[in-house]
Amino acid sequence: MKIETAVKKVVEFLQSNPASTKEEIGIKTKVKGIELTNVLKALRKQERLVEEGEGKELKLSVNAEPEETAAPSTELEIPVEDEQESPKSKGRNNDKFKFNGQEYGKGPLVREVVRHYIAEHPKVTSKQLKDVFPDELLRRFGIWQEISQAKSLSGARDRYFFQEQHQMKLGDKKVIVVCNQFTSDNVQPFLKAARAIGYKIK
């Protein structure tokens, strides 16, 4: 099967069945093994793959479209279910966020909010940005890191938006990247921080 055909099959399946496991994808689409690995790698490169959890608990979904053209905005519409802190919601991957009229998964939304903050405060330093979005908001990885630190924390798997178009330069010339490891539960502290600095969240 050609990679383009395999990607199309997987995307169509995930659009109808978000938060599916690799096993479920393989059974339903017949795209398995190294072929499925290559498909997921291609979707990651396009920034279309949304991943939550790890190992056998890894849930996969796709964004509607690549998001490079999205313009920053302070208008955030957050589903009601994402405003409720519930330990039972762990592992859910159906949440979608509207940002400037487009839908995003959790990681891309966080990335765009941070990008917007930096655009509004072009002289912000890494120390000042850590005061606004401290590492404590996302245990283990932090909301963002300088590239070298992000690569160190990532290990064998990209856990940040490393693509050049997603890198952000701060007022002190340091270049940072935003983490992509968000679930329904661990995104909550970030949403509270966004409200605290005046972002309108519905």
Task: State the pLDDT confidence band at 142, using cuts at 50, 70 and 90.
Answer: very high
Tokens of 1: 């099967």
- The terminus-to-terminus CA distance of the chain in angstroms comes to 44
Structural domains of the chain ordered from first start: 3-62 (1.10.10), 75-201 (no CATH)
The pTM for the full model equals 0.55
**Average of per-residue pLDDT across 11-19:** 84
Q: Do the strands 49-52 and 59-62 form a parallel or antiparallel pair, or are they unpaired?
A: antiparallel
Q: 164-201 pLDDT, tens per residue?
A: 999 999 999 999 999 999 988 898 899 889 888 877 65
Q: What is the pLDDT of residues 66-86, one digit of tens each?
A: 444 344 444 444 443 333 334
CA distance readout (Å), 126 to 78, 123, 135, 137: 27, 10, 12, 16
Task: Tell me if 50 sits within 8 A of 106, measured CB to CB.
Answer: yes
Helix (H, G, I), strand (E, B) or coil at 51: strand
pLDDT in tens, 92-138: 455 777 655 667 788 888 998 899 999 999 999 999 999 999 999 99
3-class DSSP state of 189: helix
Residue 88 vs residue 129, higher pLDDT: 129
Helical spans, DSSP H, in the chain: 3-16, 22-29, 33-45, 106-120, 126-132, 147-154, 188-196
| Opening angle at CA 11, ends 6 and 17, nearest 5 | 125
Q: Which residue has the tokens 């010339």?
A: 173
Highest mean pLDDT among 61-75, 77-91, 151-165: 151-165
Q: How many angstroms separate the CA atoms of 168 and 2, rounded?
A: 35
